[in-house]
Amino acid sequence: MATRTVHAVCSHDCPDSCAVLVTVDELSGKATRVAGDPSHPVTRGFLCGKVAKYLDRVYSPDRLLYPMRRRKGVAKGPVQQSELEKVFERISWDDALNEIAARLKNISDEHGPESILPYSYAGTIGQLGYGSMDRRFFHRLGASQLDRTICSTTGGAAFNAVYGMKMGPAPEDFAHAKLIIAWGANIHGNNVHLWPFIEEARRNGAKLIVIDPYKTRTAALADWHITIHPGTDAALALAMMHVILRDGMQNDAYIAANTHGFAQLAEHVRSYTPEFAAAATGISAADIEKLARMYMAAKPAAIRMNYGIQRSENGGASARAVAMLPLLTGAWMHRGGGVQLSTSGAFPFNSKALQMPELMLASPLGRNARVINMSSLGGVLTEENNPPVKALFVYNSNPAAIAPNQSAVLRGMARADLFTVVHEQFLTDTADYADILLPAPSFLEVKDVQGAYGHYFVQISQPAIAPLGESQPNWWLFGQLAQRMGFPEACFRDTADELIDAALKISAPAFAGITRERLEREQRVSVAAMGADALPTFHAPTESRYGTNASEKFPLEMLARKADNWMNSTFANIPTHQTMEGRHLGPDLGLLEMHADDATPRGIRDGDTVEVWNSRGSLTLRAHVNGSVQPGVVATRMGWNKLAADGKGVNALTSERLNDLAGGPTFYSTLVEARRLS
Ligand code: SF4
Whether the predicted pLDDT of 311 surpasses 80: yes
Instruction: Choose which residue among 9, 18, 55 to substitute to test ligand 1 binding: the one with the highest number of ligand atoms within 8 A of its C-beta.
Output: 18
Whether the predicted pLDDT of 194 surpasses 90: yes
Q: Which atom of ligand 1 is nearest to the CA of 54?
A: 5
The residue whose C-alpha atom lies closest to atom 1 belonging to ligand 1 is 48
104-141 pLDDT tens trace:
999 999 999 999 999 999 999 999 999 999 999 999 99
Sheet with 19-25, strands from edge to edge, namely 3-9, 19-25, 31-36
Distance between Cα 187 and ligand 1 center (Å): 12
All CATH 2.40.40.20 domain ranges in the chain, comma separated: 556-676
Length in residues, the chain: 678
438-449 pLDDT tens trace:
999 999 999 999
The residue whose C-alpha atom lies closest to atom 6 belonging to ligand 1 is 48
Whether the predicted pLDDT of 661 surpasses 70: no
**CA 574, chain centre distance (Å):** 20
Distance between Cα 2 and ligand 1 center (Å): 27
Lowest mean pLDDT among 71-85, 275-289, 332-346, 406-420: 332-346
21-77 pLDDT tens trace:
999 999 999 999 999 999 999 999 999 999 999 999 999 999 999 999 999 999 999
Closest CA to 300 of 334, 324, 266: 334
Question: H-helix or E-strand containing 42?
Answer: none
Distance between Cα 36 and ligand 1 center (Å): 9
Helices (runs of H) and strands (runs of E) counted in the chain: 25, 25
CA distance 314 to 280: 13
CA distance 74 to 435: 10
Q: Which atom of ligand 1 is nearest to the CA of 14?
A: 2
| pLDDT of 29 | 97
**Distances 115 to 131, 228, 387 between C-alpha atoms, Å:** 21, 43, 6
| pLDDT of 574 | 85
Closest CA to 17 of 315, 449, 382: 449
Q: What is the DSSP letter of 662?
A: T
77-88 pLDDT tens trace:
999 999 999 999
Closest CA to 543 of 403, 654, 392, 384: 654
Sheet with 207-211, strands from edge to edge, namely 224-226, 207-211, 179-183, 301-305, 338-340
**β-strands 609-614, 671-676: how paired?**
antiparallel
Phi and psi angles of residue 303, each rounded to the nearest 5 degrees, phi first: -115, 125
Amino acid of residue 517:
E
CA distance 215 to 166: 28
Distance between Cα 387 and ligand 1 center (Å): 40
CA distance 504 to 35: 27
| pLDDT of 573 | 86
Global pTM exceeds 0.85: yes
All CATH 3.40.228.10 domain ranges in the chain, comma separated: 154-341
Residue 552, Cβ neighbours under 10 Å: how many?
Answer: 6
Instruction: Choose which residue among 16, 344, 443 to substitute to test ligand 1 binding: the one with the highest number of ligand atoms within 8 A of its C-beta.
Output: 16
CA distance 495 to 595: 55
Distance between Cα 8 and ligand 1 center (Å): 12
Instruction: Choose which residue among 11, 37, 48 to substitute to test ligand 1 binding: the one with the highest number of ligand atoms within 8 A of its C-beta.
Output: 48
Lowest mean pLDDT among 170-179, 197-206, 369-378, 500-509: 500-509
Coil vs helix vs strand at 319: helix
* 216 burial type by CB count under 10 A (0-12 exposed, 13-18 middle, 19+ buried): buried
CA distance 413 to 419: 9
Domain 556-676, classified CATH 3.40.50.11810, yes or no = no
The answer to whether residues 393 and 400 touch, using CB atoms and an 8 Å cutoff, is no
341-357 residues labelled b (16+ CB within 10 A) or e (exposed): bbbbbbbbbbbebbbbe
The answer to whether residues 90 and 474 touch, using CB atoms and an 8 Å cutoff, is no
The residue whose C-alpha atom lies closest to atom 3 belonging to ligand 1 is 17
CATH topology of domain 68-151+355-509: Rossmann fold (3.40.50)
CA distance 93 to 65: 11
Whether the predicted pLDDT of 530 surpasses 50: no
Question: H-helix or E-strand containing 273?
Answer: none
CA distance 43 to 197: 11
The conformational region for residue 655 under phi > 0 = left, psi -120 to 50 = alpha, else beta, is beta
Distance between Cα 594 and ligand 1 center (Å): 30
Task: Cis check for the bond before 387: say yes or no (omega within 30 of 0).
Answer: yes
The answer to whether residues 546 and 552 touch, using CB atoms and an 8 Å cutoff, is no
The conformational region for residue 469 under phi > 0 = left, psi -120 to 50 = alpha, else beta, is left
CA distance 17 to 36: 11
Coil vs helix vs strand at 2: coil
The residue whose C-alpha atom lies closest to atom 8 belonging to ligand 1 is 10
Distance between Cα 583 and ligand 1 center (Å): 21
All CATH 3.40.50.740 domain ranges in the chain, comma separated: 68-151+355-509
Give the CA radius of gyration of the chain: 25
CA distance 405 to 390: 20
Whole-number mean pLDDT of the chain? 93
The residue whose C-alpha atom lies closest to atom 4 belonging to ligand 1 is 18
Q: What is the DSSP letter of 567?
A: B
Closest CA to 655 of 541, 539, 543, 540: 543
Amino acid of residue 111:
H
Distance between Cα 196 and ligand 1 center (Å): 14
**β-strands 436-439, 590-594: how paired?**
unpaired
DSSP lists the bridge partners of residue 19 as 9
Q: Name which CATH class applies to 154-341.
A: alpha beta
Whether the predicted pLDDT of 531 surpasses 50: no
**Distances 124 to 121, 544, 604 between C-alpha atoms, Å:** 8, 33, 41
Q: Per-residue confidence at 513, pLDDT binned at 50, 70, 90?
A: confident
**β-strands 371-373, 145-147: how paired?**
parallel
Whether the predicted pLDDT of 529 surpasses 50: no
Distance between Cα 280 and ligand 1 center (Å): 36
Q: Per-residue confidence at 584, pLDDT binned at 50, 70, 90?
A: low
Q: Which atom of ligand 1 is nearest to the CA of 193?
A: 1
Q: What is the DSSP letter of 542?
A: S
Q: Per-residue confidence at 662, pLDDT binned at 50, 70, 90?
A: low
Percentage of residues in the chain having pLDDT higher than 90: 79
Q: What is the DSSP letter of 473?
A: -
Q: Which atom of ligand 1 is nearest to the CA of 567?
A: 7
629 vs 569, residue with greater confidence = 629
* Ligand 1 environment, Cβ below 6 A: 10, 12, 14, 16-18, 47-48, 50-51, 192-193
Distance between Cα 522 and ligand 1 center (Å): 21
Whether the predicted pLDDT of 327 surpasses 80: yes
Q: Per-residue confidence at 663, pLDDT binned at 50, 70, 90?
A: low
Distance between Cα 16 and ligand 1 center (Å): 6
